[in-house]
Amino acid sequence: MRKALFIIIILIASQAFAIDTLSTQKIIRTGLAEALLPTEDDTTRYLSDGIDYIHIKNSNVSTRTITVISTADIRQTVPVGMAASNTVVTVPASTGNMKIGPFPISGYGDIMNYITYVLSDTAGITVGIFEID
C-alpha cells in the first residue's frame, strides 16, 4: 500500500511540479558524441520507448544510489522475469560509471510512458539517456 501511494505521489508530482525531464539521445550508425548532463533535482523523468538505458557517472567521493520507480503495481502488469519492485543501483564513488536498463514501459512507465528515477544525492552526478536508433 505504501509503495503504491508513493508511486501515485511521484506520478502526480511529475505532472504538477517541475521535475527535470531528460531527452533521449539516439545512437546512430555514424556515431554519437554523448552528452552527460548534471542534474539539479533528485527526481528526474524521461520519455521512454522501453529500449533505452540510463548512463550515470559519479565523480563524488561518496557512493550514490539511483532508484528507478516501478509502476507495475499501478498498471497491474509485470513483465515476464521481473518482480514488481523499484530497481535500486549503487553507483561507485569517484569513478563510478554505469549503464543501467533497459526498463520496460509495462513495468516502469507511467500512463504517458515517462520513466521516473530518484537520486540519493545530485552532487558529482551526470546523467544521459540513450537508445539505439
pLDDT tens per residue across span 108-132 = 999 899 999 999 999 999 999 999 8
Domain ranges for the chain, please list them: 2-132
Query: Model-level pTM?
Result: 0.78
Which pLDDT tens digit goes with each residue over 33-50?
A: 989 999 888 999 999 998
The average pLDDT across 46-55 equals 93
Buried b (16+ CB within 10 A) or exposed e, 66-76: bbbbbbbbebe
